[in-house]
Structures are given as C-alpha cells and as structure tokens.
Structure 1
Amino acid sequence: MEIWFLGTGAGRPMKHRNVTSIALRLPDPDCSLWMFDAGEGTQHQLMHTPLKLNKLEALFVTHLHGDHTYGIPGLLSTRSYVGGNGPLQLFGPPGIREMIETALTLSSTRIDYEITYHEVSEGIVYKTERYTVEALPLEHRVPCFGYRITECESPGKLNVERLRQLGVPAGPLFGRIKKGEDITLPDGTLVRAADAAGKPQCGRIITIAGDTKPCDNALRLAQNADLLVHEATFAAGQEEKAHLYGHSTTVEAATTARNANAKKLIMTHFSTRFVDEDLAGLEEEARTIFPESYAAHDLYHIEIPRPKE
C-alpha cells in the first residue's frame, strides 16, 4: 500500500506546489487507485508518477472548495481516454453530484463509464471485501468530511510442509485452510486451520482529514491509525488566524496525532506564505509534540507497512 501527495498547497497553486490531491495505491490483489480530492492540475501531477489513471476506482472528496475540486471534471474526462472504462465510485458532501454533472454537461464532456455518486453523511460510506471507509464531519467553513480507511485482517501464511505431512492435497483445500476453515480429509482426519496457518495479519488504518480546525471528530477518525494525514495550513502561534478560516496549525495537527495514538503524521495543505525551504521548520514544530511528524511536498510518497504485532 502506497500513498502519494499530488498537491500539498492551500488555496491556489504555486510554482512548486500544487493544490490538494492525495492518491492511495492499494496492494495486491486489488492494485487499484483511490484518490482523495482533486484540485486544479491534478491530472498533470499524475503524469509525474507511475500511477495509472485507468486504475482509478474511487474518488473521495472532502469538501467543495475549488482547491479540492476544480481538477475533477478534467480527471474524469481523461479517464475515458486512457482505458478507464470500469465503474467509478465518487463520494463527497451534498452538492457533489450537481457540481460535477453541471460541469460535465455544460462542457459537453462524454464519459464512457458509469459514475455512482454518494453524497456522504456520518458513518460507513463504502465497504469492499477488504476495506471499510468511514466518514465523519469536520469543522470548516463549509461542510467537510474526513475519511478513515480500515483494511481487513488478512490470512496468515500457510505452513505448506505441515499440510503435506497431514496429507492435504494442494489446491482448493489449501485456500479454505488459509481462510481459517477447518477441513476433514476423506480418511476422517480433521485438519485445523490454526495448526497449519500463521496468525492473521492485522490490517492498516489510514486517516485523511479534510480542511478542519481541531475537533473531536478528527480525533475519532485518527484513533490508533497507522497513518494520519492532517492539514497544517498555518504555523505554531497562528492559531487565531487558522481557526478564523477553519484550519489548523502544525502543533495542532501533531496534538491530534499524539492524542489519537497514531503511529505517523504527514502534514499537508500548507499556506502560500510558506515556501519549500520552510517545510523543515514546520516539521520541527510538529515534532516537539509528536516525533513521528513529517511535512509532505508535491510528489512525496511512502509505503504504508502492515502493523507489527
């Protein structure tokens, strides 16, 4: 599982920093792409990565401000041209469907695939065989949501040699045992999954907070997360200005991570007042509260490992 920051700026693009968009590449067997927000120029940013737009399966929008949404119509249009003909799930606050369909209709944009719109509210908004996505409202100037992605635990590694000793033939029975099922062989031998498969692997938890000032729901979404992505529009000491516009500072993002018992914090959505040379200082501010704090820059990406027991 890999996360990419396609844009890390707030409000408007800068020469070396685009507006907000995040991509989450899922591991085997899905290998699909989920995106969170798509500000202006997002599809241009994708061209500088190995990510493939035709793999885009779901787009989650935190809120309708332009720096998080103006790139969506172009992104959806280009998806048709690069072989992305499978259905797309599109999530966002009330108004997301009207916003996107109006842009596509008035521009006579042809979409060759089905878009299913989900106007989200509090609770579980999406569930697949391997993932659950929960949304909670945050505190911003317009309706805004944060998302918590929880990966299901996966079966432990099979002890193939042990299965052979027990006389289990390779094939479907291996699969059933890997899923945790006990089986009975034709000779009556009971083979317990616990005796032949390792302990299930815990799933990962990724929290992506939209624009927000500090609030209880951000803390709830981030609880025990392996990775918290949180806006840090302003620096320490600028709390009054941050809250006036519905934003957070570096130390407030770090405080949320610490109080939620998250494992790692990546800050993004930096004000245009900060240039790239300022990021190290912003990172250090956060680390006074939460040592595992990092400031993202455009095209920054990391692997998200499975949690260790």
Structure 2
Amino acid sequence: MLGTGNPNPSPSQSGCSVAIVVNDTPYVVDFGPGVIRQAAAMSPRYEGKIKGLRVENIKHAFLTHLHSDHTTGYPDLILTPWVMGRDEPLEVYGPEGINDMTTHILEAYNEDIKYRLYGNEPANNQGWRVNSHEIKEEGVIYTDENIKVEAFPVPHGTWPNAWGFRFTTPDKVIVLSGDSAPSEKIVEYATGADILIHEVYYKKGFDVRNEFWRNYHAHNHTSTVELSEIANKAQPKLVALYHILFWGASEEDLMNEISTKYKGKVIVGKDLDVY
C-alpha cells in the first residue's frame, strides 16, 4: 500500500496508490500525491526491505480513472525515476484521456526535460518518455513473464471510463476495485481471488451526511455494508480496505460494520503496509 487516502489531505494517508511486486518487478496502480516518495520509503535506499521498489525500477503503471487524487503524482512518476536512472520509457495503461494527460504533462515539463538532457549533468534520453495506452474494452490489457492484467468497467458516478483491475501472478490473484459503487463486475473478477483491494466508506458517517452528499457517495463509492455483500459473493481470501472515508470512524468501527454481515478475513489498509 503506497497510499490509502482520498481527496482529503490526511497527514496519515498518502494519495491512492498500490504497488504489486513480482520477482522484484513493480507494477503501480494509480498515482496519487506522494507516490514516488512512498515507493522510495519501502526501498533499500531508504532502509526499506523491498528492492523491487527502487524508484528507477518503476516502469509499468495502471490507472483506474482520471480523478485528481489518483493522478496528481503522475509528473512525479514520469520524472523522478528518470532523474534517478530509469533508462527506458514508462508504460502506462489507463482510461480514455490518459494520452492527452500524458502529452500535456510532458509539455508542461518541457524546459526541465531539455535542461536535464542538454545541461551540465545530462540525463539519458529515454527514461522521461512515456508510452501511454488507452483502455478501450474489457479484458486482458497487458501480459509479461510475471503477470497478466485484466481491466473491467466499474460504476463511478458519471465517469464514462472507470476501471478495476485483476492481476494474475505465478502465485496470487489480486483484484482492485478502483473507485466504484457496488458492482457485479467486481464480484465476477474477484471470485476466488487471493486479495480483493476495495475502496470503502463508513456507513454510519454516510447516514448523517446531507442529502446531496448521500446521493453523491451512493453513486460513486461503496459502504462497509455493501462491501460485506460483495465479499460474501466473491469469497476472496483477504479483503484489504483502501481509499478509506473514515468520517470520524476508528478502524474498529469499520471492522465492526463489515463483520455484521461478512465473517472472512479483512484488514484496514495502512500506508506502507505489505500484504
């Protein structure tokens, strides 16, 4: 868990991001604020234990949707690993619009890139580049010797393109909801998974919000009670909560709400924890 947060600038939760590391190869899902520093914190350079998260190793990333709390770390994801030595283009897979976002970010940092290429301490001419790929339809979007990645559509308000992902590795199946209201697609792809990483909000906190915000969150996100129903259908070995809207709740409060209907294993995701 690189970041378990949401748009609220919680000091204890970095921006939404998860890293799946297979054979010392990292695959990053979403890039909220702080993504690269969180990865660095888990790497040996900064006394972490996951050598696959040396930032220059970050070469593959997947984006669920274009909300700012999932994307404001994108320039950092492009530039900092390059400055630290990445010598090949970043490969990014995301919804319609990721190509335009990539183009504009590179344009915004054009002067910085030129200075690093042609200044007194020239960098390599590959690591700043990005190959962005727009996800057009449900199904397999990426494979290599470590992993198979499948994308599936999820309902997130009026976003026309919001995706969840299923990662199949040699020994684990990990499914991420992205930001989503309850979805049978998540049930379908998470059935029998080893880990379901799912967003969540505190139901009692939802109940005391005004009508506008109750309507918004009901169409954009998933409550503890709704997540219990999803987990009961899918039966993953572990449910990990992220993108958490606590609304005054404690971790125990969240767990109590979920456990009223779901008896499987659940953890409240924390930044820099490993599952």
Give the corresponding residue for 1:137.
153
Flag the 1:130–1:18 CA change in 2: closer, same or farther, 3 A. closer
Q: Check the 8 A contact 1:233/1:268 in 2, yes or no.
A: no
Give the corresponding residue for 2:134.
119
Match 2:64 to one of 29, 39, 62: 62
Counterparts of 2:88 and 2:274, CA distance in 1 = 26
Q: CA deviation at 1:119?
A: 0.6
Give the corresponding residue for 2:164.
146
Unaligned 5+ runs, structure 2? 44-52, 114-124, 208-213
RMSD of aligned Cα (Å) = 2.0
Q: Percent identity?
A: 30
Counterparts of 1:255 and 1:88, CA distance in 2 = 37
> What is the TM-score when the length of structure 1 is the normalising length?
0.73
Flag the 1:236–1:204 CA change in 2: closer, same or farther, 3 A. farther
Aligned partner letter, 2:30: D
Q: CA deviation at 1:100?
A: 2.0
Q: Check the 8 A contact 1:280/1:295 in 2, yes or no.
A: no
1:248 matches 2:222:
yes
Unaligned 5+ runs, structure 1? 153-202, 303-309
> What is the TM-score when the length of structure 2 is the normalising length?
0.82
Per-residue CA shift, 1:92-145, capped at 9, x if unaligned? 000011112202212215373342211112111011134211100100021210
Flag the 1:245–1:216 CA change in 2: closer, same or farther, 3 A. closer
Give the corresponding residue for 1:238.
206
Counterparts of 2:219 and 2:75, CA distance in 1 = 26
Counterparts of 2:6 and 2:130, CA distance in 1 = 28
Counterparts of 2:248 and 2:63, CA distance in 1 = 25
Per-residue CA shift, 1:160-196, capped at 9, x if unaligned? xxxxxxxxxxxxxxxxxxxxxxxxxxxxxxxxxxxxx
Q: Check the 8 A contact 1:205/1:227 in 2, yes or no.
A: yes
Counterparts of 1:206 and 1:222, CA distance in 2 = 8
Give the corresponding residue for 1:269.
243
Flag the 1:84–1:63 CA change in 2: closer, same or farther, 3 A. same
Counterparts of 1:298 and 1:76, CA distance in 2 = 22
Q: CA deviation at 1:244?
A: 3.5
Q: CA deviation at 1:290?
A: 3.5
Counterparts of 2:84 and 2:269, CA distance in 1 = 28
Q: CA deviation at 1:74?
A: 1.5
Q: Check the 8 A contact 2:31/2:74 in 1, yes or no.
A: yes
Aligned partner letter, 1:90: V
Give the corresponding residue for 1:193.
none
Q: Check the 8 A contact 2:22/2:146 in 1, yes or no.
A: no
Give the corresponding residue for 1:185.
none
